[in-house]
Structure 1
Amino acid sequence: MGRLGIHSFVWTGGQTQEGLETALRKTAEHGYRTIEFAYLRPEKFDLDRLARLAQSLDVQIGVTMGLPLDKDVSSEDDASVAAGAALLADAVRAVRDVGGNKLGGILYSAHTKYNRLPTRRGWDNSVATIARTADIAREAGVDLVLEVVNRFETNLLNTTAQGLKFIEETGSDHVRLHLDTFHMNIEEANPAAAIRLAGDKIGYFHIGESNRGYLGDGVIDFDKTFDALLDIDYQRDIVFESFSTAVVDEALSLTCAIWRDTWTENDPLAAHAKRFIEQKMDEARRRRATNARP
Structure 2
Amino acid sequence: MPFGINLLCLTDFVEEKHLDTISLIKRIGYDGVEVCVLRGDPDHYAWLGGELDRLGLRRTTTSIVPSPDADPTSADPDVRRRGIAHLDWALDCAIALGAESVGGPFHAPIGHFTGAGPTATEWARGADAHRAMAERAARHGMILSLEPLNRFETHFLNTAEQARAYVNLVGHPAFKIMYDTFHANIEEQDQSRALATLGNSVGVLHISENDRGIPGRGHIDFPAIFRAAQAAGFDGWVTLEAFGAGLPAIAAATRVWRPLFPDHETLFREGLRFMREGWSKAAAETTA
The normalised TM-score by structure 1 is 0.91
Gaps of at least 5 residues in structure 2 are: none
Aligned to 2:54: 56
Amino acid at match of 2:187: E
Mapped to 1, the partners of 2:146 and 2:42 lie a distance apart of 25
Assess, with a 3 A threshold, how the Cα gap between structure 1 residues 149 and 200 changes in structure 2: closer, same or farther: same
Aligned to 2:73: 74
Aligned to 1:240: 240
Query: Offset at 1:136?
Result: 1.6
Instruction: Give CA deviations for 1:149-200 in whole Å, capped at 9, x if unaligned.
Output: 1111211110111011112111222201110111111101111111112111
Percent identity reads 26
Instruction: Give CA deviations for 1:3-51 in whole Å, capped at 9, x if unaligned.
Output: 10001122x2233522443453132122101101111644386323211
Aligned to 2:92: 93
Assess, with a 3 A threshold, how the Cα gap between structure 1 residues 14 and 44 changes in structure 2: closer, same or farther: farther
CA contact (8 A) 1:215 1:276 kept: yes
Q: How does 1:171-210 map to 2 (within 5 A)?
A: 171-210=171-210
Aligned to 1:224: 224
Query: Offset at 1:278?
Result: 1.2
Q: Give yes or no for the alignment of 1:266 onto 2:264.
A: yes
Query: Offset at 1:284?
Result: 1.2
Aligned to 1:124: 124
Mapped to 1, the partners of 2:71 and 2:38 lie a distance apart of 19
CA contact (8 A) 1:17 1:45 kept: no
Amino acid at match of 1:83: R
Instruction: Give CA deviations for 1:105-135 in whole Å, capped at 9, x if unaligned.
Output: 1111112252522333222211111111111
Amino acid at match of 2:236: R
Amino acid at match of 1:237: W
SS in 1 for 2:251: helix
Mapped to 1, the partners of 2:177 and 2:115 lie a distance apart of 24
Amino acid at match of 1:226: F
Amino acid at match of 1:63: T
The normalised TM-score by structure 2 is 0.93
SS in 2 for 1:158: coil
Aligned to 1:286: 284
Q: CA RMSD in A?
A: 1.8
Aligned to 1:170: 170
Q: Which moved more, 1:156-165 or 1:254-263?
A: 254-263
Amino acid at match of 1:240: L
Q: Give yes or no for the alignment of 1:104 onto 2:122.
A: no
Assess, with a 3 A threshold, how the Cα gap between structure 1 residues 45 and 148 changes in structure 2: closer, same or farther: same
Give every structure 1 segment of 4 or more consecutive aligned residues whose post-TM-superposition deviation is greater than 4 Å: none
SS in 1 for 2:106: strand
Mapped to 2, the partners of 1:19 and 1:154 lie a distance apart of 34
